[in-house]
Amino acid sequence: MSKTLAKEFAQLSLDFDGASFNIITANQWRQLSGQPYFISSTYFDLAGLTMDDKTLFFEGATIQEVLPPVNTPATAGNIIQVADIMCSTPLTDTEAASFLLGGNFSGPASSTLTFDQTIYGRVRTFNADLDNLASGYMIALGDNQLGSLESTASDRIYCYRVVFFSGVPCRFDVYPARYILRANAKEEPEFEYLMRLKRSYELQNEPDRD
């Protein structure tokens, strides 16, 4: 039987004075080493679904939101990038931030996350536009989705939301998000399951990478 799983991320509200950031909603968010990257993380606990030697097959994934980011005072040229990541291996904050540059493609900018490890990924870029300054809402310049929906025997799917800001002093708000996974736990041939379980264990126990 298919199950719908959901995890929510809190709103991110920031004040930028031109030199430093003040995270107003600091309960779930953290800044990356003084850089303009802000990260929140959680995970889906799949232990109840993958018991009895079952493999979890994903049928779909999506992100739900209510509004685009807001920039106050709205200033043309300000940019916000948002990455949403669901993956089968844990990431350091640096790796999660790198997803905004290289996604899960091979190369020097990659976050080291592979296509197979990425259950679902989405990267969007928003810009404060002259024609829309009065509203305060930012306009989407790009919306790119990437991921494999690869099956797993792991008991966790790791979730990361990364926000990057570039621009002049302002306050900005990135509204809450809900991550949705639709999955079905099924039995598969013993050899395939054992190999998948071995791979899941290796991914979750890799040494931390800075």
- Give the ranges where 90-189 is alpha helix by DSSP (H): 93-102
| Residue 210 belongs to a domain | no
User: What 3-state class would DSSP assign to 108?
Assistant: coil
| Residue 162 belongs to a domain | yes
Prediction pTM value: 0.85
| Domain ranges, residue 18 | 2-204
| Residue 183 belongs to a domain | yes
C-alpha–C-alpha distance, residues 183 and 109, integer Å: 31
pLDDT of residue 203: 53
* Structure tokens given for 161: 């939301």
Round to the nearest angstrom and report the end-to-end CA distance of the chain: 40
Instruction: Give the burial string for 107-135 (b: 16+ CB within 10 Å, else e).
Output: eeebbbbbebbbbbbbbbbbbbbeeeeee
| Residue 67 belongs to a domain | yes
pLDDT by residue for the chain (210 residues), tens only, comes to 688 999 999 999 999 999 999 999 877 999 998 899 999 999 999 877 656 667 888 999 999 999 999 999 988 889 999 999 999 999 999 999 999 988 888 776 656 788 989 999 999 999 988 888 888 999 999 999 999 998 887 888 999 999 999 999 999 999 999 999 998 887 755 545 455 455 555 555 555 444
Q: How far is residue 208 from each of residues 21, 62, 114, 155, 199, measured CA to CA in Å?
A: 27, 28, 16, 19, 17
| Residue 113 belongs to a domain | yes
Domain count, the chain: 1
* Beta-sheet strands, E only, within the chain: 2-9, 12-16, 21-23, 30-31, 37-45, 55-65, 70-72, 79-87, 118-127, 139-146, 156-166, 170-174, 177-186
Give the residues across from 159 on adjacent strands.
42, 86
| Residue 209 belongs to a domain | no
CA atoms within 13 A on the CB side of 46: 30
| Residue 188 belongs to a domain | yes
| Residue 194 belongs to a domain | yes
